[in-house]
């Protein structure tokens, strides 16, 4: 079991099971939503994700048709993302998970949209667009 929360602590959640492979995404939407060079996302079965508290603080923004980004309405922290066409899966934002979360970076995706000021300095695979699963 891995726990996480938003910055203010109003939204708390847990993820059961293996976190699998993390993708660092450099797409424009992820960069703007995070305020950074990339987001760290892990795709997990929606049935493994449980909201422990703060449901009333969760707001969703439809960043592109059928794709929703959830965040805490009190502090603005991104919590997860989901797709209407893929309801059995959810993407967790690793920044909200406990520091000892058993996640591992597997790839960089949407490198074609990476800002010039950021340099990737590891040997993980780099995909110009999305990586297939």
CATH classification of the domain holding 15: 2.170.150.70
In a domain, 126, yes or no: no
In a domain, 133, yes or no: no
Helix (H, G, I), strand (E, B) or coil at 95: helix
Indicate whether 125 pLDDT > 80. yes
Contact residues for 9 (Cβ-Cβ < 8 A; gap 6+): none
Q: Which helix (H) or strand (E) holds 34?
A: helix 28-34
Q: What is the pLDDT of residues 71-109, one digit of tens each?
A: 999 999 999 999 999 999 999 999 999 878 888 899 999
Give how many domains the chain has, as a whole number.
1
- Which one, of 77, 94, 101, lies nearest residue 25 by Cα? 94
Q: What is the pLDDT of residues 14-71, one digit of tens each?
A: 999 988 889 999 999 889 988 899 999 999 999 999 999 999 999 999 988 999 999 9
Sole residue written with tokens 């297939």: 132
In a domain, 11, yes or no: yes
Which pLDDT value is given to residue 133?
46
Tell me which residue range forms the domain holding 78. Answer: 2-113
Which pLDDT value is given to residue 132?
55
In a domain, 107, yes or no: yes
In a domain, 96, yes or no: yes
Which pLDDT value is given to residue 89?
95
Q: What's the average model confidence in pLDDT over 4-12?
A: 96
In a domain, 127, yes or no: no
In a domain, 118, yes or no: no
Token pair for 59: 């707001």
Contact residues for 106 (Cβ-Cβ < 8 A; gap 6+): 21, 22, 23, 124, 125
In a domain, 132, yes or no: no
Which pLDDT value is given to residue 131?
62
Token pair for 111: 């490198």
- Name residue 25's beta-bridge partners: 39, 109
Query: Residue 24 and residue 111: Cα distance in Å, rounded?
Result: 9
């Amino acid at each position: 079991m891995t726990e996480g929360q938003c910055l203010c602590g109003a939204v708390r959640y847990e993820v059961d099971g293996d976190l699998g492979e993390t993708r660092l995404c450099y797409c424009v939407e992820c960069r703007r939503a995070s305020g950074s060079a990339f987001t760290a996302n892990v795709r997990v079965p929606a049935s493994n994700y449980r909201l422990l508290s703060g449901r009333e603080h969760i707001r969703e923004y439809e960043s592109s048709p059928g794709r929703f980004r959830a965040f805490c309405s009190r502090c603005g922290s991104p919590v997860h993302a989901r797709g209407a066409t893929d309801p059995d899966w959810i993407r967790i934002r690793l920044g909200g998970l406990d520091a000892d979360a058993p996640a591992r970076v597997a790839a960089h995706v949407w490198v074609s949209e990476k800002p010039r000021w950021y340099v990737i300095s590891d040997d993980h695979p780099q995909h110009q667009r999305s990586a297939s699963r």
